[in-house]
Amino acid sequence: VMLRILVLNGPNLNLLGTRKPEIYGTTTLADIEQEMQRRAKELNCQLSFLQSNHEGALIDAIHNAKGQYQYIIINAGAYTHTSVAIRDAIEAVEIPTIEIHLSNIHAREEFRHVSMLAPVCVGQICGFGAMSYMLALQYAVEMGKQNDEA
């Protein structure tokens, strides 16, 4: 069976490319998704993408991922720092989830240093710009293959 990975993006990430390019770069979310899709084809896995500015929509997507996806990659944007509800959803579905950020949240304002999600995620990748997404994809695919062989 093909490995299926859900890629979730939270609030304001639809503005990538024009939003504070000195921090987030000039790559758009469509560019990132296209590059991930290209890599996923090579790696023989299936990706689904959802971006939402609404907390509840992200939570619904996490719930609906149960039984459908083996991994979740999430850039929850500012909800990372505030959302106990997204954290609880990740914990509830028990799908291994990788938290990612374009920027190094630990090098920025103090309020970005705390992640509500990190304790229920496999790990956190941040500070590598668009490459954060590709690194998370690599992890999911390699772990997914190992689990498939086991």
Residue type at 75? N
Q: Is 51 in the site for ligand DQA (CB under 6 A)?
A: no
24 included as an active-site residue: yes
Total residues at the site for ligand DQA (CB under 6 A)?
A: 10
Alpha carbons 24 and 130: distance in angstroms, whole number? 8
Q: Is 98 in the site for ligand DQA (CB under 6 A)?
A: no
Alpha carbons 115 and 134: distance in angstroms, whole number? 21
Q: Is 77 in the site for ligand DQA (CB under 6 A)?
A: yes
In sequence order, what are the beta bridge partners of 101?
126
Q: Which of 71, 79, 101, 133 is catalytic?
A: 101
Tokens of 30: 């469509």
- Please select the residue that binds ligand DQA; options are 52, 80, 83, 97, rule is CB under 6 A: 80
Q: Is 75 in the site for ligand DQA (CB under 6 A)?
A: yes
- What DSSP state is assigned to residue 77? G
Helix (H), strand (E) at residue 43: none
Q: Is 101 in the site for ligand DQA (CB under 6 A)?
A: yes
Residues in contact with ligand DQA by CB under 6 A are 12, 75, 77-78, 80, 101-103, 105, 112
